[in-house]
Amino acid sequence: MSDSLRLYFKFIGIAFRARLEYRSDFLFGVVGVIVLNLTNLALIWVLIARFRSLGSWTYWEIVMLYSMWLLSHSVYAVFFWHLSRLEDDILSGRFDQYLIRPCSPLMQFLGREINYMGVGDVVFAATAFILAYSRLGLRWSAGQWLFFAVALLAGLVIETCIAWMIGALSFWMGRSRAIYAISLRFNILTQNYPLDIFGQWFRLFITGFLPVAFMNYYPLTALLGKQNALGVPWLGFLSPLVALVLLALAAFVWQRGVAIYSSSGS
Amino acid sequence: MKVIYAFIRAAFHDSAIYRFEFWGWVLATFIMMYASYSLWAILYRQDPNAFGLDLARMTTYGALGMLLIPILEAAATPQYYIAEKVRQGTLELDLVKPLNFILHMLYRSLGEFCAQLLLVGVPGLAFASLFLGFQPPVSWQAGVGFAASLALGYLIFFGVSMLMGMLSALTLDIRSYSWAYWSLVSFTSGQLVPLWLYPPLLGAIAAALPFKSIFFVPMSIYIGAQEGSMAGALLSQVVWAAGVFVLVHLAWVRVQRRIVIQGG
């Protein structure tokens, strides 16, 4: 295990240096991501400038919801984004390469790529979060900060494991990116809007089945002392548990998938 | 005409090959339509007087905006096509084809547009009518106006995407800015929020750009809430379309001069 990790960091270092060869891409990418986030928040601002709030949520509360999701997502985006393209390796038979080397296939796959665009996300999310924190006049205790940090980590694990599991589905189905596209929609909606505005089945779906609401909505309602959409106050504290369950599930699916993998033979 | 037909057929075939993939995209569109519907339903409950129209028309606007994304996305085909060819270094193969390059792109994109209109548009309309209280156009004139306006909006979007595609020679990774480009288009086009709800300054900026012709003009005609007369709105689209196509032509002439074919 430790050997695999050491190799992983080596791979990532190589991927990073390879990326640095394309300076203008890096610049375009970071600027692009910041523009994307700015316009997203501007759209919500337009709505709230007109309607004062969205349900019981004020503008800066939504900025906090948005940036909390983005903080977790940015780390996912830098290191694990290519999980969504696992199907390419499986369909093309490139996955063979990982199996013949004496190193964990997962570490080889993960270490192959690094996505600089996430850097823009980190910068944007941190800035937006600090702004929202001061605008809301919050004074979190050390315990609340600790919970916040744990929730961020849980959010990272949740998003990564969902992508990992969907990617691994292509061991059986060949293609699974369409499922990824659907999960991405739920992710984006959870990032942008409080769960309260959606109907009951939608709430249950992103709580119990595709638990992206544990990335930002439930922990944040707990931290802000707001009532959540299901009216179960302790749900927010479940996010680390949700993350662990997903991790176990994803690792299981992955292992089964690798075991039944047969090369495309081309 | 035969050439256009061939491209349309090819686009339909593509959707048939990746059938599972295709239904995934349709489902993703349904989700976004539902989300937009929910958003307007909540805001309407908060302040019914802010809209100047009834709830059903507002949620119809919201759902329509989401349904039009996969359909109008066909207009962005050249952007991805050119970027891919530049990356592979095989753009010159397109220059020797016995078909004007801009027309080639238009046919390719038009095939995609027709396929999406039928394959996503019809299930989308069915879904929205069944579950989201989706309304037909306010009158038959509005229906005809919407169709004409959508076609013009498509042409303008196509032209802008051609310009973006030619610009893409600057960077290899088109993904990095295509998202930003889409978000700017969606922001200034009224795709999610109708422009009359924008604060004055932002509204004025959006009104001065061509993007409102892509989503806002056809959608507002559909619900009978366009600014001024329908003929005036359509005329402004015609002017934008003409302007954008002149720009595309000029840009393409310049790009052709600058292309260097490397031998060996």
pLDDT in the model for residue A150: 97
Residues ≥6 apart with Cβ < 8 Å to A23: none
Query: Which 3 state secondary structure label does DSSP give B214?
Result: coil
Confidence of residue B178 (pLDDT cuts 50, 70, 90): confident
User: Residue B119 is part of which domain span?
Assistant: 2-258
Residues ≥6 apart with Cβ < 8 Å to A208: none
> Does A56 touch chain B if contact means CB atoms closer than 8 Å?
no
Q: What sign for the dihedral angle of Cα A181, A46, B61, B45?
A: positive
Residues of chain B contacting residue A46, judged by C-beta atoms under 8 Å apart:
193, 197-199, 202
Residue A180 is encoded by which pair of tokens?
Answer: 């990824």
In a domain, B263, yes or no: no
pLDDT in the model for residue A247: 97
Cβ atoms of A59 and B208 within 8 Å: the answer is no
Number of helices (H), then strands (E), belonging to chain A: the values are 12, 0
In a domain, B235, yes or no: yes
Average pLDDT of every residue of chain A: 91
pLDDT in the model for residue B262: 57
User: What are the tens digits of pLDDT across the range B111-138?
Assistant: 999 999 999 999 999 999 999 999 999 9
Query: Which 3 state secondary structure label does DSSP give A102?
Result: coil
Could you tell me which of A205, A57, A42 has the C-alpha nearest to residue B192? A42
User: What are the tens digits of pLDDT across the range B72-116?
Assistant: 999 988 888 887 887 777 777 777 777 788 898 999 999 999 999
Q: What is the mean pLDDT of each run of 10 residues along chain A (266 residues)?
A: 83 86 78 91 93 93 97 95 90 87 88 85 95 96 97 97 95 87 94 94 94 96 92 91 97 94 72
Residue A190 is encoded by which pair of tokens?
Answer: 């959870």
CB B173 to CB A25 under 8 A?
Answer: yes
Confidence of residue B263 (pLDDT cuts 50, 70, 90): low
> Does A58 touch chain B if contact means CB atoms closer than 8 Å?
no
pLDDT in the model for residue B6: 85
pLDDT in the model for residue B198: 93
For residue B51, the one-letter residue type is F
- Matching residue, tokens 């709230």: A48
Cβ atoms of A179 and A169 within 8 Å: the answer is yes
As a whole number of angstroms, the distance between CA A249 and CA A209 comes to: 13
Residue B175 is encoded by which pair of tokens?
Answer: 């993904």
Task: Kindly list the distances between the CA atom of residue A214 and the CA atoms of A63, A211, A235, B218, in Å, as whole numbers in the listed order.
Answer: 17, 6, 8, 38
Rounded to the nearest 10°, the torsion over CA B193, B198, B202, B203 is 90
Could you tell me which of A139, A121, A150 has the C-alpha nearest to residue A219? A150
Of A35, A36, A51, the CB nearest to B50: A51
As a whole number of angstroms, the distance between CA A43 and CA A60 comes to: 13
Cβ atoms of A176 and A170 within 8 Å: the answer is yes
pLDDT surpasses 70 at B176: no
pLDDT in the model for residue B160: 93
Residue A102 to chain B, least CA–CA distance (Å): 32
Residues ≥6 apart with Cβ < 8 Å to B122: none
Using CA coordinates, name the residue in chain B closest to A177: B21
User: What are the tens digits of pLDDT across the range B233-253?
Assistant: 999 999 999 999 999 999 888
Q: What is the model's pTM? A: 0.92
pLDDT in the model for residue A1: 62
> Does A123 touch chain B if contact means CB atoms closer than 8 Å?
no
**Per the structure, how many domains does chain B have?**
1
pLDDT in the model for residue B125: 96
The full set of domain ranges for chain A reads 2-260
Confidence of residue B217 (pLDDT cuts 50, 70, 90): very high
Could you tell me which of B37, B51, B19 has the C-alpha nearest to residue B129? B37
Task: Kindly list the distances between the CA atom of residue B54 and the CA atoms of A51, B50, B57, B64, B205, in Å, as whole numbers in the listed order.
Answer: 16, 10, 6, 16, 27
pLDDT surpasses 80 at B5: yes
Query: Which 3 state secondary structure label does DSSP give A227?
Result: coil
pLDDT in the model for residue B170: 59
> A31 or B153: whose pLDDT is higher?
B153
pLDDT in the model for residue A32: 86
pLDDT in the model for residue A17: 85
As a whole number of angstroms, the distance between CA B132 and CA A213 comes to: 24
Angle at B75 between CA B70 and CA B80, to 5 degrees: 95
Residue A171 is encoded by which pair of tokens?
Answer: 């061991």
Q: Is A51 exposed, middle or buried (0-12, 13-18, 19+ CB in 10 A)?
A: middle
User: What are the tens digits of pLDDT across the range B16-62?
Assistant: 777 778 888 899 999 999 999 999 999 999 988 888 889 999 999 99
As a whole number of angstroms, the distance between CA B206 and CA B26 comes to: 29
pLDDT in the model for residue A18: 84
CB A178 to CB B42 under 8 A?
Answer: no
